[in-house]
Amino acid sequence: MKKDLISMEDLSIQEITDYLTAAVKVEAMPLNERVQFLPGRIMATLFFEPSTRTRLSFESAMHQLGGSVIGFAEQSATSVSKGESFTDTIHTVENYSDILVIRHPGEGTARLAAKESHLPVLNAGDGSNQHPSQTLLDLYTIQKDLGKIEGIKMAFIGDLKYSRTVHSLIRALMKLNVTDFTLVAPESLRLQKYFMSNDEPGKYQFKETDDIEEAIKNCDVLYMTRIQRERFPDLVEYEKVKDSYVLTASMLKEAKEHARVLHPLPRVREIAYDVDKTKHAGYFPQMKNGVIIRQAILLKHLGVQL
């Protein structure tokens, strides 16, 4: 049976751990060994929304595994701009490839593609909903940087309403026994309550606060996000909140010695450039881990056992 990667909600703890273990094996492997895994296999990237890291790291990952890549980076270059439907596009591209990587502004589109296609579908972001390959790379980064995931204290800062990276990551962390969450967001961009809901009363603590200094002091990982301008129905509302939180190096003075600042990137203004030189800046290695984790994902979904 084909295997899709659509939402972190679909994955068991064992499956999440398997991806992370595979990524460790991939990272330890020399490039001349990796290149033997997927010769002749083709990955199609269907990107209906802008991307730099996700698309290019998927493409780089596929090339390093010996496979090749076709695809498009914007809808305007495809027959969708002539009126072709999403599902017709899927049924077209599946004739030319072995696996589909899809990013689309519509929530649920990746699942729809997976239902329609006989190929494995990897969700590279569907609207504000999910971004599972980003979450796996975030988890891989945390595991690598802190040596563990279970029991860490997380702080999320920024746009918690529209960030799919936050939605994916919080649910995955809850599965992995992370229970202490501090949430800092403008009033209009708070995390929806259903992301905090669970059937284990008292297990999880979600502290919503405006006190960013306090959040920084207490956490092991500070996960910053961009205010998601493209999701606002009204740009006047975006203007009101766009510079709500800006992290600077001096604000990290009270941070724990080992605390890491992560960000899925791109940043706009929410992390000042002076943070880059601090020992806490984890977002550049995080982005680099994208190639490794996406190799682990491609191998698993194309049936290669490591």
260 exposure class (CB count in 10 Å sphere: 0-12, 13-18, 19+): buried
CB of 183: closest distance to ligand NCD in angstroms? 17
Per-position x/- string for 79-118, each x denoting binding to ligand NCD as judged by CB under 6 A, each - no binding: ----------------------------------------
CB of 126: closest distance to ligand NCD in angstroms? 10
Based on CB atoms, which residue is closest to ligand NCD, 117 or 225?
225
User: Nearest Cα to 98, choosing from 133, 73, 68, 63?
Assistant: 68
Supply 28's token pair.
């330890």
CB of 245: closest distance to ligand NCD in angstroms? 14
Per-position x/- string for 114-133, each x denoting binding to ligand NCD as judged by CB under 6 A, each - no binding: -----------x-----x--
Per-position x/- string for 159-188, each x denoting binding to ligand NCD as judged by CB under 6 A, each - no binding: -----xx-----------------------
Based on CB atoms, which residue is closest to ligand NCD, 97 or 225?
225
CB of 54: closest distance to ligand NCD in angstroms? 4
Peptide bond into 120 cis (omega under 30): no
CA within 13 Å, CB half, 12: 3
Based on CB atoms, which residue is closest to ligand NCD, 67 or 125?
125
CB of 45: closest distance to ligand NCD in angstroms? 13
**Separation between Cα atoms, residue 164 and residue 223, nearest integer Å:** 13
> How many positions of this chain bind ligand NCD (CB under 6 A)?
12
User: Nearest Cα to 258, choosing from 153, 109, 110?
Assistant: 153
CB of 52: closest distance to ligand NCD in angstroms? 8
| Chosen residue from 71, 120, 127, 264 binding ligand NCD by CB under 6 A | 264
Say whether 223 sits in a helix, a strand or coil.
strand
| Chosen residue from 3, 34, 53, 175 binding ligand NCD by CB under 6 A | 53
CB of 159: closest distance to ligand NCD in angstroms? 8
DSSP string for 12-62: -HHHHHHHHHHHHHHHHS-HHHHTTS-TT-EEEEEESS--SHHHHHHHHHH
CB of 105: closest distance to ligand NCD in angstroms? 11
221-224 and 205-208 strand pairing: unpaired
Per-position x/- string for 208-247, each x denoting binding to ligand NCD as judged by CB under 6 A, each - no binding: -----------------xx-x-------------------
A 10 A CB-CB count for 235 gives 11
**Separation between Cα atoms, residue 267 and residue 50, nearest integer Å:** 14
Contact 158, 137 (CB under 8 A): no
Based on CB atoms, which residue is closest to ligand NCD, 67 or 290?
290
- The reply to whether 54 sits near ligand NCD by the rule CB under 6 A is yes
CB of 164: closest distance to ligand NCD in angstroms? 5
Contact 212, 251 (CB under 8 A): yes
Contact 265, 54 (CB under 8 A): no
Contact 34, 65 (CB under 8 A): yes
Q: For binding to ligand NCD (CB under 6 A), which residues are involved?
A: 53-54, 125, 131, 134, 164-165, 225-226, 228, 264-265
